[in-house]
Structure 1
Amino acid sequence: MFVRTGYFTGDPARLGRTLDGFSAEAVGLLSGEHGYRGYGLFANRELGVFTMGSWWDTAQAERDSDAKLGARRGELLAPFAGTAAVDVWEAAAFAPPGEGGPGARFRLIRAEFDPASADRLVAAFREQALPNLERMDGFVGGALLIQRDRGRASVGTIFQDEATFAASRSPQAEARSRVTAEVGVTVRSLEEFEVVLLDRRPPR
């Protein structure tokens, strides 16, 4: 599975309209493309930041969809985005999201690792981090995305509401410390967002 992510910053006063545009159009556009498996839209309205990710069966399906839909993405972003970063990742380990619902929250961690340690990182996340997450109250879904050749990782976790999200901070920090120490990972950022939209599609 492959994931295309976008990370965008701009004027907070213009963010709401842009989120409305993506909420209205994104799933309809993406779901018509071969290999589409899901989409998430997440925002920090106060700072004027939002991020999104679309999930694809294959690298070719991701590339084809981007070639077809990239121009429309740019049109929707134009009134808001001052900066834009788009990346493609391997979905190395994940628990497919359930229903987020109103009030769901998303935590995003960016990290770096030695490319030679990629398999160790994936194993540690799959065997240690994911089981711990799945035992936490309110856990909706989580994923480890990696760029093996560049030694970059992105970890996203979703919880069903503000209360369970807040309660997850300490146990997730403890689990993160264990995995990063074991594998030799450097965490570069940690951010939190509201869940604006989640869409999940079963395999065809």
Structure 2
Amino acid sequence: MQHVQVNLLAADPARLGEAIRYLEEKTRPLLEDLVGSQGLSVSVNELGVAVIEEFWVSHDAMREHEKTVAPSRAEVARFSGGTISSERFAVGSFTRVGRTQPGAGMRLTRMDTDASRIDDVVAGYEDTALPWLTETPGFVAALLFIDRKTGRSISETRWDDFTTLDANRSAAAAIRADLVAATGSSIRAVEEYALLVDTAEPA
């Protein structure tokens, strides 16, 4: 099963551009040359927060290259004058109807669930959220990241632009409520970003 490392960079907004340049010029080539890497995506918001996702063919590949990639993450934090934290997940679901372009809108929904019900989250997500998503104008892709040990998950949806992202906020809230009711989950956070870089190839 494919895995992803989700890195949250909390930066000085005035220095975030410098960190993104480092990511594109140094981190991206390093990462994409490693066996088992399936690319990365970088999204930012106006507060100076960036989500950097590293995709891998397996958990073993991700773990094997940690010592190679970790110093680059530390440099990104240094360039940005901020801090970086990381979480690891399996990719539990992936649907794409198009390719995301720079400037695309991205919504992350972070959820907590009893670990014994994580399969219910995947099934509920695919039965409840995906049918609505694939019929909604502007939808590009959806991913569900899961951690079977902790019960944590992240639903990620990608949209053509912020206009379409804005237009579906109320409907997305209703879908979240349905999923929570069906799985006994709780919402930890809902975040929105602009996608800057996307070379990832989720399986």
What band does the TM-score fall into relative to the shorter chain? over 0.9
Unaligned runs of 5+ in 2: none
Q: Distance in 2 between matches of 1:164 and 1:87?
A: 28
Q: How far off its partner does 1:97 sit?
A: 7.1
Q: Distance in 2 between matches of 1:61 and 1:28?
A: 17
Q: What TM-score does the superposition give when structure 1 sets the normalisation length?
A: 0.92
Residue in structure 2 matched with residue 31 of structure 1 by the alignment: 32
Q: Taking structure 1 as reference, are residues 97 and 42 closer, same or farther at Cα in structure 2, changes over 3 Å only? A: farther
2:9 matches 1:18: no
Counterpart code for 1:88: R
Q: Taking structure 1 as reference, are residues 135 and 85 closer, same or farther at Cα in structure 2, changes over 3 Å only? A: same
Report the identity percentage. Answer: 30
Q: Distance in 2 between matches of 1:186 and 1:92?
A: 18
Whether the 8 Å CA contact 2:73–2:84 is kept in 1: the answer is: no
Query: What aligned pairs does 1:29-178 form with structure 2 within 5 A after superposition?
Result: 29-44=30-45, 46-96=46-96, 98-178=98-178
Whether the 8 Å CA contact 1:9–1:82 is kept in 2: the answer is: yes
Unaligned runs of 5+ in 1: none
Q: What TM-score does the superposition give when structure 2 sets the normalisation length?
A: 0.92
Residue in structure 2 matched with residue 193 of structure 1 by the alignment: 193
Counterpart code for 1:58: S
Deviations, residues 88-147 of structure 1 (Å, cap 9, x unaligned): 101111114732223211111111011111111111112221222111111111111111
- Deviation above 6 Å: which 4+ runs of structure 1? none
Q: What RMSD over aligned residues (CA atoms) do the two structures have, in Å?
A: 1.7
Q: Taking structure 1 as reference, are residues 200 and 171 closer, same or farther at Cα in structure 2, changes over 3 Å only? A: same
Q: How far off its partner does 1:14 sit?
A: 0.7
Deviations, residues 131-178 of structure 1 (Å, cap 9, x unaligned): 221111111111111111111111111101121111121221111111
